[in-house]
Amino acid sequence: MIVLPSMETDLAFFGLLIKFEFRTQFIMLILAAALAAAGTDWLIQGHPHKASTRLVLENWVIPAMAAVAIGVIVIRIPGGLALWIGLLLGAILLVAVLTAEFIVYDPQDPRYGHIANVLNGLALLLLLASFLTIQVLELRALFAIPLILSACLIVTWRLFKLTFPEKRVWTWAFLVSFIVSQVALGLHYWPIPPLRSGFLLGLVAYLAYQGINLHLREEVNDRSHLVEMAIVSIISLLAILLLT
Model confidence at 61, in pLDDT bands (50, 70, 90)? confident
Q: Is the pLDDT of residue 1 over 60?
A: no
- Find the mean pLDDT for residues 148-176: 88
The overall average pLDDT reported for the chain is 83
- Find the mean pLDDT for residues 141-157: 89
Contact (CB, 8 A) for 208 and 182: no
The more confident residue out of 80 and 135 is 135
Model confidence at 182, in pLDDT bands (50, 70, 90)? very high
Model confidence at 205, in pLDDT bands (50, 70, 90)? very high
Provide the phi-psi class of 101: left if phi over 0, else alpha when psi is between -120 and 50, else beta. Answer: alpha
Q: What is the pLDDT of residues 3-58, one digit of tens each?
A: 666 677 766 666 666 666 667 777 888 888 899 888 888 888 887 777 666 667 77
Q: What is the pLDDT of residue 174?
A: 93
Model confidence at 153, in pLDDT bands (50, 70, 90)? very high
Contact (CB, 8 A) for 225 and 211: no
Q: Is the pLDDT of residue 175 over 90?
A: yes
Type of residue numbered 228: E
In angstroms, the CA 16 to CA 13 distance is 5
Domain extents for the chain?
Answer: 143-244
